[in-house]
Amino acid sequence: MIEAMACGLPCIGTPIGGIPELIGDDFLVEINDPVSLANKIQVLINAPQIAHQQAIRNLLLSHDYEESKLELKRKLFYDYLKKLAEISNG
């Protein structure tokens, strides 16, 4: 999903894993609901301005998942865990 977003594509997904935090409720469809999926696709086809807005939003949001930013977040998290361990071990 992030790769598609990084290409500036509008995305539709299901409410599992981390998908909802990536694309938001407006572009979620329930699992095994092809009618809902078809309706969302139709919205994007019939309203190119919505598709374009979603594509731009996705492209901008995808930058939050660049390796350098994720690496920094991981380091901060690991440092936090290390401090917690040091505090609990006295």
| Count of other CB atoms within 10 angstroms of residue 26 | 10
Q: Alpha-carbon distance 25 to 14, whole Å?
A: 10
CB 54 within 8 A of CB 11: yes
Question: Mind listing the pLDDT tens digit of every residue in the chain (90 residues)?
Answer: 999 999 999 999 999 999 999 998 999 999 999 999 999 999 999 999 999 999 999 999 999 888 887 788 888 889 888 888 888 887
pLDDT of residue 69: 79
Q: Take residue 75 and report the two structure tokens written for it.
A: 């380091």
CA neighbours closer than 13 Å in the CB half-sphere of residue 41:
6
pTM above 0.85? no
At 10, which amino acid appears? Answer: P
